[in-house]
């Protein structure tokens, strides 16, 4: 099929050429306003610019290879992520059980076999379990479990938990990731923020409770730890 060439001119006279070839791969939306996506495809060649947003804001729709087919090397891991996953699934189970119990209790109450206190108690427990599930899930989903960097040092792969306690991988260009200094954190803080220029979404990781597996590559993404 014919090749689809997309180009965008942005930022102080620097030209960022983005090209891709149609194939049997999935479609990916690339926000050029936050830097050009260093796609892991031999069909997509990108001249990288400096960190930070580019202007004018342009959004291009391109096709590229699945980033998951690349080879990634681990640069960070959080050993306690398995415990977080277990607690997350336990909260799901607890909430499910309390919700299932509610209908029989209401039926027994209408039949006169259950007291109003039991109805109020089980309802309160179900509501409390739901609130705790939402709170715990909101926290666990924002904790980074592992981070990987591709061989070209262009793409960062970040693994975290979903609402259901499953692993979810996010692929982001290194040029879109803020350094520790850019986020306003200190490298000696217990909890650090993983922020991007293109989205307000914030994840969290810890070099104190987590482990930096490859310091040299880690610092290529987040800056010096000293």
Q: How confident is the model at residue 114 (pLDDT cuts 50, 70, 90)?
A: confident
> Pick the residue with more confidence: 78 or 114?
78
How far is CA 28 from each of CA 44, 48, 111, 170, rounded to the nearest angstrom? 12, 18, 57, 13
User: Comparing C-alpha atoms, which of 1, 51, 33 is closest to residue 174?
Assistant: 51
Q: What is the pLDDT of residue 211?
A: 93
pLDDT for the residue 30: 40
Contact assessment for residue 17 and residue 180, using Cβ atoms and an 8 Å cutoff? no
Residue ranges of domains in the chain:
3-69, 72-78+143-222, 82-140
Cβ-in-10-Å burial (0-12, 13-18, 19+) of 147 comes to: buried
Q: Does 22 have pLDDT greater than 50?
A: no
Q: Two tokens at 125? A: 């427990």
Give pLDDT tens digits for 173-224: 999 999 999 999 988 899 999 999 999 999 999 999 999 999 999 999 999 8
Looking at every residue in the chain, the average pLDDT score rounds to 76
d(CA 70, CA 77): 19
Helix and strand numbers (H, E) in the chain are 3, 11
How confident is the model over 41-60, as a mean pLDDT? 39
Q: What is the mean pLDDT of residues 99-127?
A: 90
Does position 33 have pLDDT exceeding 50, yes or no? no
| Residue recorded with tokens 């039991």 | 118
**Cα 212 from chain centroid (whole Å):** 18
pTM of the model: 0.64
Q: How far apart are CA 22 and CA 73, in angstroms?
A: 28
pLDDT surpasses 90 at 170 = yes
At 113, is the pLDDT very low, low, confident or very high (cuts 50, 70, 90)? confident
**Banded model confidence at residue 68, pLDDT cuts 50, 70, 90:** low
Altogether, the residues listed in the chain come to a count of: 226
Statement: residue 7 has pLDDT above 80: no
Identify which of 5, 28, 1 has the alpha carbon closest to the alpha carbon of residue 18. 5
Cα-based distances in Å from 163 to 13, 141, 167? 44, 7, 10
Residue 48's pLDDT is: 39
The pLDDT, as a whole number, for residue 79 is 93
Residue 172 CA to residue 52 CA, distance in Å, equals 13
Measured distance CA(200)–CA(211) in Å, rounded: 25
């Amino acid at each position: 099929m014919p090749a689809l060439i997309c180009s965008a001119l942005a930022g102080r006279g620097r030209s960022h050429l983005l090209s891709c070839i149609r194939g049997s791969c999935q479609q990916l939306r690339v926000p050029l306003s936050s830097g050009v996506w260093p796609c892991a495809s031999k069909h997509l060649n990108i001249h990288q610019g400096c960190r930070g947003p580019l202007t004018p804001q342009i959004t291009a729709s391109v096709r590229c290879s699945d980033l998951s087919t690349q080879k990634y090397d681990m640069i960070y891991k959080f050993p306690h992520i398995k415990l977080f996953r277990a607690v997350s699934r336990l909260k799901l189970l607890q909430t499910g059980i309390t919700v299932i119990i509610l209908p029989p209790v209401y039926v027994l109450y209408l039949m006169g076999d259950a007291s109003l206190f039991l109805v109020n108690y089980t309802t309160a427990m179900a509501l409390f379990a739901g609130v705790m599930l939402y709170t715990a899930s909101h926290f666990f989903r924002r904790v980074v479990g592992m981070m990987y960097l591709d061989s070209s040092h262009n793409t960062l792969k970040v693994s975290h938990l979903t609402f259901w306690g499953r692993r979810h991988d996010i692929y982001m260009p290194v040029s879109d990731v803020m350094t520790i200094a850019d986020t306003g954190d200190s490298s000696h803080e217990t909890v650090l923020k993983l922020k991007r220029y293109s989205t307000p979404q914030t994840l969290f990781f810890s070099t104190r409770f987590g482990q930096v597996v490859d310091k040299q590559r880690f610092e290529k993404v987040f800056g010096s730890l000293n």
